[in-house]
Chains A and B, each alone.
Chain A
Amino acid sequence: MKILILGAGAIGGYVGGRLHQHGADVTFLVRPARQQAMRRDGLVIRSTKGDITQKVKTVLNAAEGGPYDVVLLTPKAYDLDSAIEAIGAAVGPDTTVVPLLNGMRHLDVLDARFGRNKVVGGLARVGVAMSAEGHILHTSPFAAISFGERDGKPPRKSLVEFDATIKKAGIDGGLHQNIVQDLWDKWIMLCSLAATNCLMRGSSGDILEADEGRAIVMETVDECQKVAAAAGHDPGEKGMQTIRGFLTVKGSRFTASMLHDLEKGAMVEADHIVGDMIARARKAGLATPILRTAYAHLQVYMHRRAAQAAKTKG
């Protein structure tokens, strides 16, 4: 099967690199500067599961090298529009688009552009970052992606094949029977973590030091759970226990990557991760007082960042 990976960033670079290493037919759709660097240095992965540097196929235009069976999308949410623009020509009648983004809103956007039948659900659980010189730094002991049909029907042939391909490449996860629930579970966790870490500007452990820190974290999780339940995807008590447990480890230095982005002045996925949760809550008539406040905090940040950029430019 032919796989196109949009970008060779942290997640796309890692997954695509492992697939290529194990014999899959992988092409990376990249920008000219990245193509030059990859032609010169190869795709460099430094990983807890073993380092590798290899030459891989790259194209600058999605019309080249196709048609593709699977197009893997791993942009930041705020780059989704340009990502869709970029892959347009690669999506043929039999192509399946597998987005590995957090949140849910991108699915509506992708459905509108490519048709719902071409777009499946997917998410990544890989602790990976990109170094300044473009190396893929995989630091977590795990590397998993999951994907599946959103309507819960038996998976299409390309997903079954894709499942076999990633397993061969040593990537965990694979086909998921209830991918939409998995997306909601991860979104609840991530939204709660990002909202509280950013609103309070501290790690989960720091927040638990505040008199009401624990209560506020719990209420944030509840707000998200209600939104999920209204959409028909309540994680259930067991799922919620996992999420709550993860967010309330005393002394935890764990922080949302959104807080790191915010403290280094980078773009944040605030609209996608927090703003959209609030929008869904409002549509369902639910109050989300803490998410609302966290989103105001993030919007202040984005506003200041934009003002700063305009000032530097002007």
Chain B
Amino acid sequence: MKILFLGAGAVGGYWAAKLTQSGAADVTLLLREKRAEIVRKNGLVVKSPKGDFTVPVKVVTRGSDGGPYDVIILACKAYDLPSAMDSIAPAVGKDTTIVPMLNGHAHFATLDAKFGAEKVAGGLARISGMLGQNGEILHSGASGVSFGERDGKPPRKALTELDAACKTAGIDGGLNPNINQDLWDKWLMLGSIASMCSAMRGTIGDIMETQDGEAIMNEILEECRKVAAAEGYAPSDKAFSTVRAALTAKGAKTVASILGDIEKSGAVEGHQIVGDMLGRARKHGIAAPNLRFAYAHLQTYEARRARGGLK
């Protein structure tokens, strides 16, 4: 099967490298000129606790090249979605399935409106890592993906094939019959940890050292749980207590990647991860005072970033 990846960061890059290395799929990367040049020259360079490897991979810089594709995997940040959609548009044929791996939920409405809901599957990544200084993929642990039909119907052929390719390539997870629940479970976790790590500027362990940090974390988890429930995707008790245990673990070095973005004055997915959760709380009449201050923190950060500092 032919797969196009938009983006070769930690998620897209690692996944594409594994699929290419194993020969499980015919992979092409759609990249910006600068990134394309590096990947053409060096291949995809993966440094991973599961083993380092380098693999050459096909690269295009225009969506009109190399298609048609069976699957297009969108592995970009939410704030790059508009330009990502423009880039892939020429690559989307009548039988193409788009699998977005973005955080939150806001992107579905945008993608559905542009390409039609039937072309857009649900997807999420549990791949942790970042890009190194020379564009290498520094993979740091989890290597799972999850995707599936958003309407819960039996999966289309493209997704079944993608599932098989992932299994051949040694990627965890794969086809998920209840992808919406999985998306909400991940968002609940991410909404809580991103809110707290950014607004408190610390790790879970740092936050647990404070007088009220644990109480605030528990409240924010409850706020997100109520929103998920109101949307019809309450987490199971087991899933929720697993998340809560991880997010209130004393001494944990766990931290949301958004804090790293903030600390290097980068762009953040404040609206998609926190603002949209808060908006949905409001819509359902759920009080969410802690999401509210976290979103105000992120918006203040953005205002300050826009004007270039504190001076």
Contacts and interface: CB of A to CB of B under 8 A. Distances in A.
A264 B311 CA distance: 14
Contacts of A209: 299-300, 302-303
Given A293-B216, A296-B207, A299-B210, A211 B299 contact: yes
Interface stretch (B21-29, B39-47, B66-74, B288-296): B288-296
A200 interface: yes
A199 B199 contact: yes
A293 to B, nearest CB: 6
B295 A211 contact: yes
Contacts of A255: 310
Given A203-B310, A293-B290, A304-B202, A210 B296 contact: yes
Given A211-B295, A293-B216, A300 B303 contact: no
A111 interface: no
Given A293-B212, A293-B216, A300 B300 contact: no
A303 interface: yes
Contacts of B216: 292-293, 296
A255 B289 CA distance: 24
B310 A296 contact: no
A290 interface: yes
A173 interface: no
Chain A's interface size range is 20 to 34
B211 interface: yes
B219 to A, nearest CB: 9
Chain B: interface size category: 20 to 34
B296 A300 contact: no
B202 A201 contact: no
Contacts of A297: 199-201
Interface string B204-237: 0011011111001000000000000000000000
A147 to B, nearest CB: 33
A213 interface: yes
Chain A interface SS verdict (over half) = helix
B213 A213 contact: no
Interface in A240-260: 253, 255, 259
B50 interface: no
A263 B304 CA distance: 14
A203 B300 CA distance: 9
Nearest to B303: A209
A237 interface: no
Contacts of A299: 209-211, 213
Contacts of A152: none
Given A201-B201, A202-B304, A303 B210 contact: yes
Nearest to A260: B310
Interface of A: 199-203, 206-207, 209-213, 216, 253, 255, 259, 263, 275, 278, 289-290, 292-293, 295-297, 299-301, 303-304
Q: Which 5 A-B pairs have the closest CB atoms?
A: A210-B299, A209-B303, A299-B210, A300-B202, A202-B300
Given A210-B296, A292-B211, 10 more contacts: A201-B300, A202-B303, A207-B300, A210-B303, A212-B295, A293-B212, A293-B290, A297-B201, A299-B209, A303-B209
25 contacts: A199-B199, A201-B201, A202-B303, A203-B304, A209-B300, A209-B302, A210-B295, A210-B296, A210-B297, A211-B295, A212-B295, A213-B299, A216-B296, A292-B211, A293-B293, A295-B212, A296-B212, A296-B213, A296-B216, A299-B209, A300-B200, A300-B201, A303-B202, A304-B201, A304-B202
